[in-house]
Chains A and B, each alone.
Chain A
Amino acid sequence: MALTLVFVEHHDGELQKGSLGVLGKAIALGGEVAGVVLGASQEVAAAAATYGAAVYACDDTALAAPLPQPRVDALEALVTETGAETVLFAASVLAADVAAGLAARLGAGLNWDLTDLRLEGGDLVGTRPALGDTVVVDVAWKGTPRIGLVRAGTFEPAEPTGGAEVRPFASAFQDFSSQAQLIERTHEESSGPSIEDADVIVAGGRGLGRAENFSLCEALAKTLGGAVAATRAVVDAGWYPYSAQVGQTGKSVSPRLYIACGISGAIQHKVGMQSSGTIVAINKDPNAPIFDFADLGVVGDVEQILPKLTELLQARGA
Chain B
Amino acid sequence: MKVAVCVKHVPDATAQKRLDPTSFCLDRSGEGALNATDLNAIEEALRIKDAHGGEVVVVTLGPAKAADSLRKALAMGADRSILVTDDAAAGSDLLATTSVLAKVLEREAPDLTLFGQASSDGDGAVLWAAVADRLRRPLISQVATLRVEPAAVTGKRQTEFGYDTITAALPAVVAVSDAINEPRYPSLKGIMGAKSKPQEVLSLADLALDAGESGDAGSRTQVVAAAPPAPKAGRVRIDDDGSAAEKIVAYLAERKLA
Q: Which residues of A contact B (CB under 8 A)?
A: 11, 65-69, 72, 92-94, 96-105, 107-113, 125, 129-143, 149, 174, 176-177, 179-188, 200, 224, 232, 236, 242-243, 248-252, 256-257, 267-268, 278, 280, 282, 286, 291, 294-301, 304-305, 308-309, 311-313, 316, 318
CB-based contact A97/B255 at 8 Å: no
**Closest residue on chain A to residue B246 by CB atoms:** A312
CB A88 to nearest CB in B, in angstroms, measures 14
The reply to whether the CB of B191 lies closer than 8 angstroms to some CB of chain A is no
The reply to whether the CB of B184 lies closer than 8 angstroms to some CB of chain A is no
CA distance A291 to B232 in the complex (A): 13
The listed residue (A100, A139, A174, A186) touching B222 by CB distance below 8 A is: A139
CB-based contact B162/A179 at 8 Å: no
Sample of 16 further A-B pairs with CB below 8 A, known A97-B129, A101-B132, A296-B235: A93-B160, A101-B130, A129-B229, A131-B17, A136-B226, A138-B226, A139-B222, A141-B220, A180-B138, A180-B172, A185-B163, A256-B257, A257-B257, A267-B120, A294-B235, A295-B236
Q: Which residues of B contact A (CB under 8 A)?
A: 17-19, 24, 26, 93-95, 98, 117-118, 120-122, 124-134, 136-142, 144, 154, 157-169, 172, 177-179, 219-230, 232, 234-240, 244-249, 251-253, 255, 257-258
Given contacts A101-B132, A101-B133, A110-B95, contact A180 B219 (CB under 8 A): no
Given contacts A130-B19, A137-B225, contact A97 B141 (CB under 8 A): yes
**Closest residue on chain B to residue A301 by CB atoms:** B240
Cβ contacts A to B, 21 pairs, < 8 Å: A69-B138, A92-B159, A93-B158, A96-B126, A97-B128, A103-B95, A109-B94, A110-B221, A125-B224, A130-B122, A132-B17, A134-B228, A180-B168, A180-B172, A249-B144, A252-B160, A278-B255, A296-B235, A298-B248, A309-B245, A313-B258
**Closest residue on chain A to residue B98 by CB atoms:** A104
CB-based contact A109/B129 at 8 Å: no
Chain A residues with CB under 8 Å of B158's CB are 93, 232, 249-250
Given contacts A137-B24, A300-B239, A316-B249, contact A93 B142 (CB under 8 A): yes
CA distance A300 to B237 in the complex (A): 11
Chain B residues with CB under 8 Å of A176's CB are 136-138
CB A287 to nearest CB in B, in angstroms, measures 11
For the complex, would chain B's binding face be called helix, strand, loop or mixed by DSSP majority? mixed
Chain B residues with CB under 8 Å of A113's CB are 122, 124
Chain B residues with CB under 8 Å of A316's CB are 249, 253, 258
For the complex, would chain A's binding face be called helix, strand, loop or mixed by DSSP majority? mixed
**Closest residue on chain A to residue B253 by CB atoms:** A316
CB-based contact B226/A135 at 8 Å: yes
**Closest residue on chain B to residue A130 by CB atoms:** B122
CB A7 to nearest CB in B, in angstroms, measures 14
The listed residue (A102, A142, A243, A267) touching B221 by CB distance below 8 A is: A142
CB-based contact A137/B19 at 8 Å: yes
Chain B residues with CB under 8 Å of A297's CB are 235-238
CB-based contact A298/B238 at 8 Å: yes
CB-based contact B138/A179 at 8 Å: yes
CB A141 to nearest CB in B, in angstroms, measures 6
Chain B residues with CB under 8 Å of A103's CB are 94-95, 126, 130, 220
Given contacts A142-B220, A252-B160, A309-B249, contact A180 B139 (CB under 8 A): yes
Chain A residues with CB under 8 Å of B239's CB are 286, 298-300
The listed residue (B127, B162, B238) touching A186 by CB distance below 8 A is: B162
**Closest residue on chain B to residue A177 by CB atoms:** B138
Give me the 6 closest cross-chain CB pairs, A-B, nearest first.
Answer: A300-B240, A109-B220, A112-B124, A187-B162, A100-B126, A100-B129
**Closest residue on chain A to residue B119 by CB atoms:** A267
CB-based contact B124/A149 at 8 Å: yes
CB-based contact A248/B238 at 8 Å: no
CB-based contact B246/A140 at 8 Å: no
Chain A residues with CB under 8 Å of B24's CB are 137
CB-based contact A182/B238 at 8 Å: no
CB-based contact B138/A188 at 8 Å: no
CB-based contact A131/B18 at 8 Å: yes
CB A177 to nearest CB in B, in angstroms, measures 8
CB B28 to nearest CB in A, in angstroms, measures 12
CB-based contact B221/A111 at 8 Å: yes
CA distance A101 to B228 in the complex (A): 31
Chain B residues with CB under 8 Å of A183's CB are 154, 165-167
CB-based contact A186/B163 at 8 Å: yes
The listed residue (A110, A301, A309) touching B94 by CB distance below 8 A is: A110
**Closest residue on chain A to residue B123 by CB atoms:** A112
**Closest residue on chain A to residue B179 by CB atoms:** A236
